[in-house]
Structure 1
Amino acid sequence: MKKADFKYYGLLVIAMFFWGLSWPLAQIMVGQATPFQVGLFRFLIASLLYIIILFCTNFKIIKTYTWKSVRDFTILGLLGIFGYGFLFLTAMQFTTSSQGAAIAGIQPSLIAIASFLIFGEKLYPKWKYFGILLSFLGVLTIIGIQSFIEFNKNHLIGNFIVFIAFLFWCGYTLYGKKIMQKYSSLETTTWSSFTGMLMFGGAALIENRWSQLVNVPASFWWNILILGVFTTVVGFFLYFYVINKIGAVRSGVFINLVPVFGTLLSIIILNQEITWTLWIGLVLISGGILIINYPKDFSNKEQLKEQMILD
């Protein structure tokens, strides 16, 4: 391991910190404005920044877009920005951000299952399927067991909505994988954020609850700025910058830190109580993620080849 790698690992930790921070901040803001309004302002800021960067770096590419391109970006915006974002924010009105963040660890398992069902992609070696089982047991522990030990209907509803939200994110990831064979990650993220923002804006107009924003504290707009700039834009660029430096294999493992940071920041910022079932669920989900992402052989030829290319 080179000393320079630690710099990239540090950047990844910062990106995961920003992504984890979105959980407690979202819970704070949905108590001050509607999910449609929060989503609109967050992705309005992010979209403007993305578009400025895209126009400054790849203006010529934009001229090649077709109606099919618009369709693809709109589908991505519907799945990963508006669909996921609305469900995520709605769930924060029912459950706690610490429980939601812990459930976020189910994403790799859902993507692995969907990839198998849709594309026929299999996990190898087969013992990695044990990771999927562990992750689902962790989610069941958080969604089911705790809700029935100290029955809380709102938490049960909210946690179920979080799970549905990640089904939308799974669809976004798989469809985005197909789209990014034609477009760069910057283009894909820019236009999916923009189309999703338009959907949030349309929903907010129909909802027509703008008077509610008159009474929001100044901290609401600071939190929106953090979500739009740091969580959505800076986190994205740090993640893909490091992927270009050390590869997707080593970078992807750091996504495991998102539920950890989300849970810990919820404790610190919101003083949320962490139950023993949440800790067990978080451990099971994290263990499942590590098993799924564990390389077949760190010393195999593909890993060495990737490192040689990056060097």
Structure 2
Amino acid sequence: MVVYLKLILTAVVWGGTFIAGRVIVQDLDPFSAAFCRFAVSSICLLFLTLKQEGQLPRLHQKQLIQVILLGMTGVFAYNAFFFLGLQTIAASRAALIVALNPTFIALGSALFFKDKLTAFKIIGIIVSLLGAALAISRGNVVNILDDNLSIGDLFLFGCVFSWVAYTLIGKLAMQQLSPLVATTYACLIGTIALFFPALSEGILQHFFQINFVTWLVIWYLGFLSSALGFIWYSEGVRVIGPAKAAIFINLVPVSAILLAAVLLREEITLSLLAGGILVVMGVFLTNKA
């Protein structure tokens, strides 16, 4: 029972990252926000790794290349796109786009790892893409490219493709490294990479001017979402298995939309609601297969 509660809370926390991201970009530039988030995440994950593993294992050349790619895709690129996108589009809209991750991961796995695309997966992919198109186009799917697809939407699709790359590379990296070690290395590398564009944004000058609310958001993103979320989700995978644990991911866009409506007063339109339902259904079918 406890593990199910943790998985639900994890999904809610992950849904809240879109609201947190929308808030933080009002005070920090995108790369500065991403750097602060993963500086906190790296500290938390490094502490956890040292506690569980005893040390951060040394990597051979192939592993080093893999974790560098993980850091550059899943941390650097994903978060750059994430915060750039949230500067201009609603949190609920962003959540629905990012909810397409499993759909494109299924396609990527079929393309690069020859994973079988079952009928359920194909139906799920079509349904989720239709749902995203419905939400993005505000119900006008036929004319989706006519002023409906904004630069913010494109940034969020950048998130999706970055995460697909991270997941597929991670499938190789985690054949020899534990998920915790691989994630910790990825966070450390991504944080270092994020520091340089954050530096150009003036993070050193602004660091001591960051207000209390923004620091709370940074710790929410860095500790609750990245570190604690990883721990709880990994525990869920271990206890009830990856297939059942993955089902709870469907709650992320749902919680994001509800939290955005309550906390940010974002409007829940009919097209957003219908699109969200289709995306969740599609992702469920994709995972079920």
> What TM-score bracket applies, with the shorter chain setting the length?
over 0.9
Partners of 1:190 and 1:104 lie apart in 2 by 22
Looking at structure 2, the residues matched to 209 and 44 of structure 1 have their Cα atoms a distance apart, in angstroms, of: 13
| C-alpha RMSD over aligned residues | 2.2
In structure 1, the residue matched to 2:123 is: 130
Structure 1 residues not aligned, in runs of 5+: 1-5, 296-311
The counterpart of 2:189, out of the listed 164, 188, 195, is: 195
Which of 117, 124, 135 is the matching residue for 1:142?
Answer: 135
After superposing the two structures, state which structure 1 stretch, 50-59 or 163-172, moved more: 50-59
Selected match of 1:42 from 18, 37, 46: 37
Deviates more, 1:252-261 or 1:286-295: 286-295
Range with greater deviation from structure 2 (47-56 or 207-216): 207-216
Tell me, in whole angstroms, the C-alpha distance in 1 between the residues paired with 2:145 and 2:263.
Answer: 25
Count of residue pairs brought into register by the alignment = 288
State, as a whole percentage, how many aligned pairs show the same letter: 29
SS of alignment partner, residue 150 of structure 2 = helix
**Deviation of residue 217 (structure 1)?**
2.7
- Between 68-77 and 269-278, report the one with greater CA deviation: 68-77
- Matched-pair contact (CA < 8 Å) for 1:147–1:155: no
Distance between the aligned counterparts of 2:26 and 2:203, measured in 1? Answer: 14
How far is 1:282 from its partner?
0.3
Q: Are the structure 2 counterparts of residues 199 and 219 from structure 1 closer, same or farther at C-alpha, using a change threshold of 3 Å?
A: same
Q: CA deviation at 1:159?
A: 1.6
Could you tell me how far apart the structure 1 residues matched to 2:96 and 2:225 are?
A: 18
Alignment pair present for 1:26 and 2:21: yes
For residues 199 and 276 of structure 1, do their structure 2 counterparts lie closer, same or farther at Cα, with a shift above 3 Å needed?
A: same
Q: Quickly say closer, same or farther: Cα 1:265–1:152, change in 2 above 3 A.
A: farther
Does residue 167 (structure 1) correspond to residue 158 (structure 2)? The answer is no
Contact kept? 2:131, 2:276, Cα under 8 Å: yes
Structure 2 gaps of 5+ residues are none
Q: How far apart, CA to CA, are the structure 1 residues paired with 2:262 and 2:130?
A: 26
Aligned match of 1:183: 177
Preserved contact between residue 243 and residue 288 of structure 2 (Cα < 8 Å): no
Q: Which is further off, 209-218 or 155-164?
A: 209-218
CA displacement at 1:122 relative to structure 2: 1.2
Alpha-carbon distance, 1:275 to partner: 1.3
Note the alpha carbon deviations across 1:266-308, whole angstroms, 9 max, x for none.
111101111111111101101111211225xxxxxxxxxxxxx
Cα deviation digits, residues 20-75 of structure 1 (max 9, x gap): 1100010010010111111111111110111122122223561x422333221111
Q: CA deviation at 1:225?
A: 0.9
Counterpart for residue 74 of structure 2: 80
Alpha-carbon separation, structure 2, partners of 1:220 and 1:12: 26
Where does residue 99 of structure 2 map in the other structure?
105
Q: Under a length normalisation based on structure 1, what TM-score does the superposition of the two structures give?
A: 0.87
Q: How does 1:1-311 map to 2 (within 5 A)?
A: 6-59=1-54, 62=57, 64-124=58-118, 126-145=119-138, 156-208=150-202, 210-213=204-207, 215-294=209-288
- Tell me which residue corresponds to 1:304: none
Corresponding residue number in structure 2 for 1:301: none
Query: Are the equivalent residues in 2 in contact too, given 1:40–1:200 (CA < 8 A)?
Result: yes
The letter for the 2-side match of 1:89 is F
Distance across 1 between alignment mates of 2:203 and 2:186 = 25
Secondary structure, counterpart of 1:27 in structure 2: helix
Letter in 1 for 2:170: G
Amino acid at match of 2:106: A
Measure the CA separation in 2 of the matches of 1:127 and 1:113.
13
Question: Residue type matched to 1:34 in 2?
Answer: D
CA distance in 1, matches of 2:4, 2:232: 10
> What code does the residue aligned with 2:127 have?
L
Distance 1:250 1:150 in 2: 34
